[in-house]
């Protein structure tokens, strides 16, 4: 899968996790991990598969980051 990793703040290509536990471990370990996990769980609860939920989580986090960047 190709996604935006909210922990590293970079896009990356990696294999898709097979379980929710593996997916959540990708989001763990950051000061904002709780927020990342909430977004992921909301997507999974809406019926998305693991890959789609991670991609959409990364996208949602990236959009929020862009909102709070100072103007150039």
Cα dihedral across residues 3, 58, 8, 21: positive or negative:
negative
The residues spanned by each domain of the chain are: 2-67
Q: What is the pLDDT of residues 24-70, one digit of tens each?
A: 999 999 999 999 999 999 999 999 999 999 999 999 999 988 877 77
Looking up tokens 């996790």 gives 17
- pTM recorded for the entire structure: 0.87
Q: What is the pLDDT of residue 68?
A: 77
DSSP 39: H
């Amino acid at each position: 899968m190709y996604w935006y990793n909210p922990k590293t703040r970079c896009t990356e290509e990696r294999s898709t996790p097979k379980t929710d536990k593996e997916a959540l471990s990708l989001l763990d370990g950051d000061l904002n991990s709780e927020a990342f996990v909430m977004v992921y769980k909301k997507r999974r609860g809406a019926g998305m598969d693991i890959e789609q939920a991670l991609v959409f989580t990364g996208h949602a986090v990236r959009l929020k980051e862009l909102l709070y960047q100072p103007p150039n």
